[in-house]
Structure 1
Amino acid sequence: MSEAPSEKGKKDKIRIILIVAIAVVVLGSGYKIYTDQQAKKALQAEYDATRTLLTSKLDSISTELSDKISEIAKLGGDIDSLVAVKDSITAERDQLQRTRVANKALIQRLDRKVTGYEELLLAKDEEIAHLQAINSQLLVENNELKEEQNELTKTINEAQQKQQQLQQRIGLAAKLKAENIQVYNVNDRGREREGDFRQRQAQKVKVTFNLAENEVAPAGAHRILIQVIDPAGNVIFDVARGSGSFTVDGREIYFTAAQEIIFDNSQQALSFVYDKGTDFEKGDHKVVIWADNYEIGRTTFNVR
Structure 2
Amino acid sequence: MSEASSGKSKRDQIRIILIAAIAIIVLGSAYKIYTDHQAKEALQAEYDATRTQLTTKLDSISGQLSDRISEIARLGGNIDSLVTLKDSITSERDQLQRTRMANKALIQRLDRKVTGYEELLIAKDDEIAELKELNTQLLDENNTLKEEQNVLNKTINEAEQKQEQLQQRINLAAKLQAENIQVFNVNSRGREREGDFRQRQAQKVKVTFNLAENEVAPAGGHKIMIQVVDPAGNVVFDVARGSGSFKIDGREQFYTSMQQIVFDNSKQELSFVYDKGSDFEVGDHKIIIWADNYEIGQASFNVR
* TM-score for both structures, normalised by structure 2: 0.96
1:17, CA displacement in angstroms? 2.5
Matched residue, 1:151? 151
SS in 2 for 1:228: strand
What is the CA RMSD across the aligned residues, in angstroms? 1.5
2:33 aligned counterpart, secondary structure = helix
- The 3-state SS of whatever aligns with 2:280 is coil
Tell me the secondary structure at the aligned position of residue 179 of structure 1: strand
How many angstroms apart in 1 are the aligned matches of 2:140 and 2:277? 81
The equivalent residue for 1:258 is: 258
Give, as a single letter, the amino acid of the residue that structure 2 aligns with 1:33.
I
Q: Letter of the 2:187 partner, please give it.
A: N
* Amino acid aligned to 2:148: E
Partner of 1:111: 111
Report the Cα distance in structure 2 between the residues aligned to 1:107 and 1:7, rounded to whole angstroms: 63
1:4 to partner: Cα distance:
5.7
Q: Structure 2: which amino acid aligns with 1:160?
A: E
Mapped to 2, the partners of 1:291 and 1:137 lie a distance apart of 61
* Counterparts of 1:105 and 1:154, CA distance in 2: 71
Q: Following superposition of structure 1 onto structure 2, how do residues 21-36 of structure 1 map, counting pairs within 5 Å? A: 21-36=21-36
Q: Kindly state the Cα deviation for residue 188 of structure 1 after the two structures are TM-superposed.
A: 1.0
In 1, the alpha carbon distance for the partners of 2:92 and 2:136 equals: 37
Kindly report which structure 2 residues correspond to 1:1-304, keeping only aligned pairs within 5 A, or say none.
6-304=6-304
Q: For residues 51 and 165 of structure 2, what CA distance do their matches in structure 1 show?
A: 82
Identity of aligned residues (%): 80
Q: Secondary structure at the match of 2:221?
A: strand
The CA deviation at 1:20 is 2.1
Query: CA offset at residue 64 of structure 1?
Result: 1.0
CA deviation vs aligned residue, 1:259-286 (integer Å, no higher than 9, x gap): 0111122222111000111111111111
CA shift, 1:82, in A, is: 1.3
SS in structure 1 at match of 2:69: helix
* CA positional deviation for 1:7: 4.6
1: distance between equivalents of 2:131 and 2:32?
63
Q: What displacement does 1:3 show?
A: 8.8
The letter for the 2-side match of 1:130 is E
Aligned mates of 2:155, 2:14 — CA distance in 1: 124
Describe the superposition over 1:43-97 as per-residue Cα deviations: whole angstroms up to 9, x where unpaired: 0000001101111111111111111111112222221111111111111111000
- Matched residues in 2 for 1:96 and 1:32: separation? 31
Cα deviation code 1:156-181 (max 9, x no counterpart): 00000111111111111111111121
What is the identity, as a one-letter code, of the residue corresponding to 1:179?
E
Cα distance in structure 1, aligned partners of 2:187 and 2:12: 181
Question: Match for 1:189: what amino acid?
Answer: R
Given residue 105 of structure 1, which amino acid in structure 2 is its aligned partner? A
- 2: CA distance between counterparts of 1:146 and 1:259? 56
Find the residue that maps to 1:213 and give its secondary structure.
coil
AA in 1 matched with 2:24 = V
Bigger Cα displacement from structure 2, 131-140 vs 160-169: 131-140
Number of corresponding residues = 303
CA distance in 1, matches of 2:11, 2:184: 176
CA shift, 1:21, in A, is: 2.1
Report the Cα distance in structure 2 between the residues aligned to 1:150 and 1:198, rounded to whole angstroms.
Answer: 68
Give 5+ residue unaligned stretches, structure 2: none
| More deviation, 278-287/68-77 | 68-77
1:76-127 C-alpha deviation (Å, 9 max, x unpaired): 2221111111111111111000000001111111111111111111211222
State how far apart, in whole Å, the 2-side matches of 1:164 and 1:53 are: 77
Q: Secondary structure at the match of 1:259?
A: strand
Tell me by how many angstroms 1:298 deviates: 1.0
Give, in angstroms, the shift of residue 12 of structure 1: 3.8
1:15 positional shift: 3.4
State the TM-score, normalized to the length of structure 1.
0.96
